[in-house]
Structure 1
């Protein structure tokens, strides 16, 4: 690949790139994201080893605690890349949501009008108008289409139209979505993404809103002045895996009582200067009963990193635990354990993230049982 592309991959922290002894040939390692990005005029595709349909299943579970994106309903093909699959699923659900026209709702507006409408803002009238009777400073509820639900859908459709790799037929249908939402406000790039709860009023948008949120969640990449990196959409696989395991284990631990807490903040030393934050701890009556760290991939080929063992051993020592648990996405490494000299036992577990949903669910259930059963506390 061209040197500019290699430099862009490093600058955007997408992967580690090192030159070889052959011109325009590089060794790429430590890939942290999947998707597509335009760098120096070239489209760079990064395909996940996990099938796209499984990737979306994990994303959906992590975001909603359930399989909100089913293959049959959303059309995630087994051999599609991430961006085409996302664009296809979003357009399909957006078209369904807008089949009866754009949703409308009440929005509170502040305005200066020649007549009183809604609530008269007397304080603003005095400070802005100097006692003049007209125009009148008022607040009122307006029944319009420029509501957060439509803003999310329009902004996501517009963002997808700028991405490389969106199929031509999907582009045409996305443009129809944009036309239907003419007059709706776009959410600026970098602005906070509104969190819209599903209710009876917006139930027909319930499938498209999580997809729109994913498109706008910050995983997308926009052109920056003077940068080699242009538009794209990238997802951190480690984050997807960690979020999924957290949500799935939290559900699996419910029968055992207590609470599964993510990123539990504590300190390692007496002075409180060395901060620690295990990925997951099982709290029962305020006491840490189990500690779990989630790792998407093994950095060293054929073996688990010693650093993971050191880290978990420190956690166990801090919380007085006899055992700690490391959860990896399944690779070439076998499950097993390590008994630390004069210390805890470190158990290593591998989840088959390319397996069917019911198989993965069974693995999560077995893992929670293995961890919690010896320490079972009923709610």
Structure 2
């Protein structure tokens, strides 16, 4: 398999020879742009997203600041802050396919270690023997007085429940991706066999499940399964070939992670709102949505904005970010604002705006660190913001 690897900030790209249908599929994936250089030669350039796509023997990977294992953690934690660093099993050096497969396998193995989860499921059925309760209305309208079959509703204790359906769908999708080791494929096939009797479901129509004490051992595996089956992940067939892809916008990943991490760090200290609506001008003109606003007694007391960008060569971040945070602070009537960057630049900086008394803090959160260290960094930022808050009345 021919491999093309790019960094998300690669401005030069990689030259490669591609058939037209392969080029079209790679562009459609959203991971890369292709610039024609003639004679079936293309220059692949990153498109502001990271991930991996494989089609007809071509494997394209765009890497991010975060390791594959860390990326999985950030995605899962944003969905469920109960997801723990230890739930991600892949080593930092693994590629994204291997990281996904190994994490799904290990979490699924733990979920199924004590047996396949069963629960009661309400079933509507047409049978010749009465079981449960007769659905009288359906019996009359469908059977017109015939004694059999009988329209009934009963509770069945079964493995064919939402949790197992989602898990099996993810395992089967993972079996369709390329470049997995024979060991990983054997383990996935073994897990699929354990879930025999579970109805295969489409990734586009996944059943809903609710966290509970009974499915606690399944929850890490279900979070990974949802990522495998999510909108950013595809495994499809076209022209006899399989296109497998996992593509994410890292700016969105970072923003979602920071929002949840800040909310968790503020837990018990008030209300934390994502995408808090505010207007800069009178008459509800010039609407704005800071990433995170913390409120006390429904009054904004702190504002945060996540920025997935590097500092310039000077070590400074774009002035536009300062202007944006200044607008947030002005509209919210706050004296402090916090900008959180994904990597690079000065570790911390505080900028006091002239003639306004507003102070804007810049913090770098390096995604090359281990996820536990990144969480500690977010908690430190929140503690710093709390120290600047006015005393509670």
Bin the TM-score by the shorter chain.
0.7 to 0.9
1:115 and 2:93 matched:
no
CA contact (8 A) 1:19 1:27 kept: no
Deviation digits for residues 105-139 of structure 1 (CA, Å, limit 9, x no counterpart):
21111111223211211111121122333222111
Give secondary structure in 2 for the equivalent of 1:275: strand
Displacement of 1:284 after TM fit? 1.3
1:134 maps to 2:151: no
Alignment of 1:21-40 (within 5 A): 24=41, 26=43, 28-34=45-51, 36-39=52-55
8 Å CA contact retained: 1:289, 1:321: yes
What secondary structure sits across from 1:179 in the alignment? helix
Match in the other structure for 1:2: 17
Aligned residues: 374
* 1:127-206 map, 5 Å: 127-192=141-206, 194-199=208-213, 201-206=214-219
Check the 8 A contact 1:292/1:327 in 2, yes or no: yes
Distance 1:49 1:228, change over 3 A: farther
Match of 2:317 among 283, 286, 304: 304
Deviation at 1:38, TM superposition (A): 1.9
Contact kept, 8 Å, 2:26 with 2:53, in 1: the verdict is no
Matched, 1:232 2:245: yes
Measured at CA, do residues 358 and 44 of structure 1 come closer, stay the same or move farther in structure 2, by a change above 3 Å? closer
Aligned-partner Cα distance in 2 for 1:216–1:158: 10
Question: Residue 264 of structure 1 contacts residue 280 of structure 1 at CA under 8 Å; is this kept in 2?
Answer: yes
TM-score of the superposed pair, with normalisation by structure 2: 0.83
Q: Distance in 1 between matches of 2:347 and 2:239?
A: 46
Indicate conservation of the 8 Å contact 2:29/2:53, yes or no: no
Q: CA separation in 2, counterparts of 1:63 and 1:203?
A: 15
**CA-to-aligned-CA distance 1:284-325 (integer Å, 9 cap, x gap):** 111111211111223866553344333222222211222322
- Where in structure 2 are there 5+ consecutive unaligned residues? 1-15
Deviation at residue 216 of structure 1 after TM alignment: 1.7
User: Could you say what secondary structure the match of 1:297 adopts?
Assistant: coil
CA contact (8 A) 1:198 1:206 kept: no
CA shift, 1:46, in A, is 2.3
Q: In the alignment, which residue of structure 1 is the partner of 2:80?
A: 64
* 1:352 alignment partner in structure 2: 366
- The aligned counterpart of 2:97 is 83
1:253 Cα offset (Å) = 2.1
15 and 336 in structure 1: CA distance in 2 versus 1, 3 angstrom threshold: farther
Asked if the contact 2:83/2:220 (under 8 Å) is kept, the reply is no
Q: CA deviation at 1:203?
A: 4.0
Map of 2:266 onto structure 1: 253
CA contact (8 A) 2:53 2:59 kept: yes
Q: Which moved more, 1:203-212 or 1:76-85?
A: 203-212
1:278 aligns with 2:290: yes
Distance in 2 between the 1:218 and 1:12 partners? Answer: 12
Equivalent residue for 2:225, pick from 212, 215, 224:
212
**Alpha-carbon contact 1:147-1:184 (below 8 Å) kept:** yes
Give 1:46's match in structure 2, choosing from 58, 62, 66: 62
Take 2:120 and 2:310, find their aligned partners in 1: how far apart are those partners? 51
Kindly tell me: are residues 334 and 204 of structure 1, through their superposed partners in 2, closer, same or farther at Cα, counting changes over 3 Å?
A: closer
| Mapped partners of 1:98, 1:281: distance in 2 | 40
Take 2:313 and 2:30, find their aligned partners in 1: how far apart are those partners?
21
Q: Summarize the Cα distance change of 1:8–1:315 in structure 2 as closer, same or farther, 3 Å threshold.
A: farther
